[in-house]
Structure 1
Amino acid sequence: MVSTVSLIVRCFNEEAHIGRLLTGAQRQTRPPDEVVVVDSGSTDATLAIASAFGAKIVHVRPGTFSFGGALNRGIEAATGDVCVFASAHVYPVYDSWLEHLVAPLEEDDAIALSYGRQVIPAHGQFSEGRLLEQWFPQTSNPRQRDPFCNNANAAIRREVWRDLPYDEDLTGLEDLHWAKRALDRGYALAYRADAPIVHVHEEVFSQIVNRYRREAIAHKAIYDDQEMSAAQAVRLAVQNVVLDALAARRQGCLWAEARGIVRFRLAQFYGAYRGFRQHGPVSQLLRWRFYYPPKSAGGPSQEDQSAVGNIINYDELPAEDRR
Structure 2
Amino acid sequence: MKTITVIVRTFNVEWIIDQALTALMKQKGIHLELMIVDSGSSDATLEMVKSYPHQFLAIESGTYFPGKVLNRAIEKARTELIVFINSDVVLLDPYALLRLIQPLENTQVVASYGRQIIRPEADLWVRHDYERAFTTTGNQPEWMHYSLPIASMKKSIWETQKFYTDAWGSEDTQWGVKIKSKGYKIAYVKDAIAMHSHNYTLKQLASRRRIEGEADVYIYPHKSLSLISTILSFGASFLRESFYYIQNKHSEGIFYLLLNRIVYSWSFYKGFLSSSKSKSKITFGNYQ
User: TM over 0.5, yes or no?
Assistant: yes
1:101-180 alignment, distance < 5 Å: 101-105=100-104, 107-140=105-138, 148-180=145-177
CA deviations over 1:250-288 (Å, ceiling 9, x no partner): 222332x4355334323321221111111216xxxxxxx
1:23-102 alignment, distance < 5 Å: 23-30=22-29, 32-102=31-101
CA deviations over 1:29-62 (Å, ceiling 9, x no partner): 2355111111111111122222222232211124
Offset, 1:228: 2.7
Match for residue 192 of structure 1? 189
CA deviations over 1:100-128 (Å, ceiling 9, x no partner): 111111x2011111011112111202112
Consecutive unaligned residues in structure 1, runs of 5 or more? 282-323
Offset, 1:145: 9.3
Query: For the residues of structure 2 that align with 1:236 and 1:128, how far apart are their CA atoms?
Result: 18
Q: AA paired with 2:51?
A: A
Offset, 1:170: 2.2
Query: For the residues of structure 2 that align with 1:263 and 1:54, how far apart are their CA atoms?
Result: 45
Q: AA paired with 2:214?
A: I
* 1:125–1:260 contact (8 Å) kept in structure 2: no
Corresponding position: 1:261 with 2:257: yes
What is the SS of the residue equivalent to 2:40? coil
Query: For the residues of structure 1 that align with 2:138 and 2:57, how far apart are their CA atoms?
Result: 33
Query: For the residues of structure 1 that align with 2:5 and 2:41, how far apart are their CA atoms?
Result: 22
Query: For the residues of structure 1 that align with 2:61 and 2:230, how far apart are their CA atoms?
Result: 32
Query: For the residues of structure 2 that align with 1:87 and 1:251, how far apart are their CA atoms?
Result: 30
Distance 1:246 1:181, change over 3 A: closer
CA deviations over 1:76-111 (Å, ceiling 9, x no partner): 222222111111121112222111111111x20111
* 1:3–1:80 contact (8 Å) kept in structure 2: no
Q: AA paired with 1:246?
A: F
* 2:39–2:58 contact (8 Å) kept in structure 1: yes
What is the SS of the residue equivalent to 1:186? coil
Offset, 1:141: 5.8
CA RMSD of aligned residues (A): 2.4
* 2:103–2:109 contact (8 Å) kept in structure 1: yes
* 1:10–1:38 contact (8 Å) kept in structure 2: yes
* 2:2–2:30 contact (8 Å) kept in structure 1: no
1:12-31 alignment, distance < 5 Å: 12-30=11-29
Q: AA paired with 2:79?
A: G
* 1:84–1:154 contact (8 Å) kept in structure 2: yes
User: How many residues in Structure 1 have an aligned counterpart in Structure 2?
Assistant: 278
Query: For the residues of structure 1 that align with 2:143 and 2:266, how far apart are their CA atoms?
Result: 26
Offset, 1:154: 0.7
Match for residue 272 of structure 1? 268
Distance 1:259 1:49, change over 3 A: farther
Q: AA paired with 2:254?
A: A
* 1:121–1:200 contact (8 Å) kept in structure 2: yes
Corresponding position: 1:210 with 2:210: no
